[in-house]
C-alpha cells in the first residue's frame, strides 16, 4: 500500500483539527450502544494497525487507485469466504466421522479437476 508522504503542490491542510475530530467522535460515541461501539473499535484497530504497518493516513497525497483497491479487497473477501466454507465442511465431516460427507468432498474435487484425480 502506498500512503502519501512528503510534500505535494496539491497538498491541502486537513479540514478539521485533531481536537475538533476528537470532539466530534466523542459526541457521536456517546450516542452509541455497546454493539455499535464494538464495531467502531474494530474499525479503529484496523486503522491503527494500518498506520503502524504502512505509515499514517494522508488522504490528500495518497496515490492509490481506490476503485482497483476496492475490487481487489472484494475478491479477497470472497476467496476468504469460500476458504472458510471448505474448511468448515472438512472439519465438520472429520469431527463427525461422516464418511458420506468426506466422500462427497472428494467427489467435488474430482469433478472440478475433470475427474482426473485418483
Closest CA to 93 of 75, 106, 110, 80: 106
Query: How confident is the model over 60-78, as pLDDT tens digits?
Result: 889 999 999 999 999 999 9
Return the percentage of the chain with pLDDT > 90, whole number.
Answer: 52
Of 1-10, 78-87, 109-118, which range is least confident? Answer: 1-10
DSSP state of 61: T
In this predicted model, which residue has the larger pLDDT, 113 or 30? 30
Amino acid at each position: 500500500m502506498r500512503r502519501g508522504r512528503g510534500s505535494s503542490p496539491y497538498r491541502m491542510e486537513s479540514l478539521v483539527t485533531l481536537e475538533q475530530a476528537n470532539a466530534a467522535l466523542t459526541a457521536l460515541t456517546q450516542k452509541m450502544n455497546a454493539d455499535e461501539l464494538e464495531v467502531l473499535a474494530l474499525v479503529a484497530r484496523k486503522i491503527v494497525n494500518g498506520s503502524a504497518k504502512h505509515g499514517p493516513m494522508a488522504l490528500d497525497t495518497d496515490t492509490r487507485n481506490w476503485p482497483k483497491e476496492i475490487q481487489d479487497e472484494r475478491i479477497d473477501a470472497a476467496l476468504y469466504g469460500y476458504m472458510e466454507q471448505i474448511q468448515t465442511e472438512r472439519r465438520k465431516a472429520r469431527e463427525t466421522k461422516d464418511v458420506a460427507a468426506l466422500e462427497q468432498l472428494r467427489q467435488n474435487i474430482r469433478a472440478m479437476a475433470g475427474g482426473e484425480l485418483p
